[in-house]
Amino acid sequence: MKFGIMVNEGPYNHQSADSAYQFAKAAIEKGHEIHRVFFYHDGVNNATKLTEPPQDDRHIVNRWSKLAEEHGVDLVVCVAAGLRRGIVDENLAAGFRISGLGQLVESGIQADRMVVFGD
């Protein structure tokens, strides 16, 4: 099955960032396809390479980057939501790209299931 994923909450603040990642990873392991992960609202903060959690904590941003590198998952950050929160190309972590909300709607059209992780 082809999944579209939407992440609406910031990392370390809300579990939805973790749940979305775990869902994506599990789906890929089961042979499903992740069409796209779209980051919106405070979810755009999942994409900043300035993130430096303590060493004994999970690195949410690098985890996404690794998913993109290993499985070619398309990680898209909303341009408008990103600009509001200071997420721009200069501080974007590897594997992410910035684009418009149309990418979210398109993912809803193309994917078999759209799964929203939010509050």
In the complex, the residues that contact another protein under the rule CB under 8 A are 6, 8, 40-41, 76, 79-81, 99-106, 108-110, 114, 116, 118-119
78 is catalytic: yes
> b/e for 60-85, b at 16 or more Cβ within 10 A?
bbebbbbbbeeeebbbbbbbebbeeb
Nearest approach, Cβ of residue 75 and another protein (Å): 13
Q: Which lies closer to another protein via its Cβ, residue 19 or residue 62?
A: 19
Q: Which lies closer to another protein via its Cβ, residue 66 or residue 79?
A: 79
Nearest approach, Cβ of residue 13 and another protein (Å): 13
Nearest approach, Cβ of residue 29 and another protein (Å): 25
Q: Which lies closer to another protein via its Cβ, residue 28 or residue 101?
A: 101
